[in-house]
A and B are shown apart, each in its own frame.
Chain A
Amino acid sequence: MPVDIDAAVIANRRLSADYNVLSLAAPAIAAGARPGQFVMIKTVGGGLDNAPLLRRPFSIFEILRDRTGAASGISLFNKRIGAGTALLSSVEPGAHLPVLGPLGRPFEPVDPPAEAWMVAGGVGLAPFVTLAEALARRGTAATLFYGARRADELHCVDLFEALGVRIVLATEDGSRGAHGRVTAPLEAALGERPLGNPVKLYVCGPTPMMRACAALASRHGRACDVSLEQVMGCGLGGCYSCVVLARDAATGKPHHTRTCIDGPVFDAQRIVWDSVLSH
């Protein structure tokens, strides 16, 4: 059940000019959150009328814990893109932000002997720390394929290393990891893996990347979940603005399906990719 918390900003850690990790005190949301769920944040302090008006969706990046191990808050992996993300980039500790959540259909982590391969592009890294934790708890072997344009846009890899996740990096300019798109090392790995060894893909990133991963998964006969981000009005299923065309599980017929409550996690084979907005 989602709650709305007027959450205090605990810390705002700058990773680069564009990226920051924002820590928020939100015990009730942190305690109930499942891997890959999101929150709707009202950015405040943006001017005379507190613009922007609508909340913005953000994946829960980390579950923060106090000394006793109890869930005390969440962090967000933020990339400055528009007005809302610019405010979250500069907000200072002590400020308060309304945070509604946890929301959305979570990832379903696979159990051993299946492996989990997470594929992240840029800010699409955001939903994978919570998934990696859930996989580690189950003892499921996990790999993170993580791509960005340049080395200085790859962040927080240490969080995954600490959870025992195998890391495969790629940059488009070759400044770190494989030279090119992250789909190249993914394709190679899929080709090398014997069919008898089950693996499930979990993908989040730019729409063309997710589309390419879905095609690779299909070609190699592997299950693939994608976490979609669309423009959202409410996050609760009320406004019908965040729809994508997803094939009905029973009939196969595509319908406009709400990303907020039927997603953000979908079986990639259900998605009609031309209907998904590019970011």
Chain B
Amino acid sequence: MDLSVQIGSLRLANPIIAASGCFGYGVEYADVVDLSTLGGVAVKGLFLAEREGHSPPRIVETPSGMLNAIGLQGIGVHRFIAERLPELRARRAVVIVNICGTTLDEYVEIARILSDAEGVHAIELNISCPNIKEGGITFGCSLPGTHAVVSSVRKVTRLPVIPKLTPNVTDVASFARASEEAGADAVSLVNTFLAMAIDVRTRRPKLTNIVGGLSGPAIRPIAVRMVYECRRVVNIPIIGMGGIATADDVLEFMIAGANAVQVGTMNFVDPFIWTKLLDGVRAYSQQHNIERLQDVVGTVDTTARETAWISS
């Protein structure tokens, strides 16, 4: 049974990746999961410099999900390479580095630095974090901005380039297409939905940042729809995510059009989720006589629905 997936020049052994922002720098989880068994590890978003992030409270639970406004606290790309990458390399993790910039030049500079670092396998462009004011999502909410970041980074690295798209736009598929045209090797989607929660007793927002990003099973059906829309307009691989909790959820995203998936919030609930997902995907493949898991990608059968509409 072949679970592997090709992302540009990178071959992942399986399609299940730890999502950026939900897995620290990977090393935090080395005691609970064999990092080499994951399809990949997308590490916490990195700027050039260190960042302290927002003041707490940074998360609040909501029905079937959570809001976060961490504010991209991070150790910066240089400390990451010096202090975290060696252990990731020793543990044979496939490392996808999520990068953020306040300017186009910052994205380019970080990509250049990472391209020279041994043990980095791909770059995920964070143009979608809803929790910081400058940069990032400004690029991700504008088609020319998305095109500019992707094409600029494309020029300076041979690593696979994967823009991570925001759902906080009218038509996410057009951003997937702009990414493909700019030379992206894949797109990942979705980042969190901009959201808010208020304590009615104090009338204060529950997060210091006032607003935050919604993740978890609550967003899954919207994310599945967005992956489906993107699949119809791009040929590059799609990495889908949004509240994946079970192997069936992995398969739902793949059938909708994702070649691989990322798991974030549910890793908090169950840090041992990885083997359960992989075992479940293997069992499904066996049951349905699937030799190559990639054969299920984009196989959602919408014909019966359309027929039903016509006849009614």
Contacts and interface: CB of A to CB of B under 8 A. Distances in A.
Contact of B31 (A2, A42, A231): A2
A2 B32 contact: yes
A241 B270 contact: no
A1 interface: yes
A72 interface: no
A224 B22 CA distance: 33
B271 A236 contact: yes
A53 B53 contact: no
Contacts of A244: 56
Interface in B259-312: 265, 267-272
B114 to A, nearest CB: 21
A237 B65 CA distance: 19
A239 B61 contact: no
B269 A54 contact: yes
Contact of B268 (A2, A98, A233): A233
- The interface centre, meaning the residue of A230, A239, A256 with most chain B CB atoms within 10 A of its CB, is A239
Nearest to B62: A53
A266 to B, nearest CB: 15
A241 B56 contact: yes
Contact of A54 (B53, B55, B57, B61): B61
A256 B73 contact: yes
Contacts of B265: 53
> Which residue, A51, A54, A255, has most C-beta atoms of chain B within 10 A?
A54
Nearest to B60: A231
A236 B73 CA distance: 16
B59 to A, nearest CB: 4
A233 B73 contact: no
Contacts of A256: 52-53, 73
B29 A240 contact: no
A238 B56 contact: no
Interface residues of B, number: 34
A223 interface: no
A239 B56 contact: no
Given A1-B31, A241-B70, A231 B56 contact: yes
B52 A255 contact: yes
B89 interface: no
Contact of B63 (A49, A234, A241): A49
A178 interface: no
B46 to A, nearest CB: 13
A92 interface: no
Contacts of B73: 240, 243, 256
A42 B270 CA distance: 9
B284 to A, nearest CB: 23
A243 B53 contact: yes
A238 B217 CA distance: 18
A86 interface: no
B28 A236 contact: yes
A90 interface: no
Given A49-B63, A243-B56, A237 B24 contact: yes
Interface in A1-43: 1-2, 4, 42
A52 B60 CA distance: 11
B268 A55 contact: yes
Interface in B65-124: 65-66, 68, 70, 73
A175 interface: no
Contacts of A271: none
B58 interface: yes
A277 B57 contact: yes
B52 A238 contact: no
15 contacts: A1-B32, A49-B64, A49-B217, A231-B57, A233-B66, A238-B24, A238-B271, A239-B22, A240-B24, A240-B58, A241-B58, A241-B70, A243-B73, A256-B53, A277-B56
Interface of B: 21-24, 28-29, 31-32, 44, 52-53, 55-61, 63-66, 68, 70, 73, 216-217, 265, 267-272
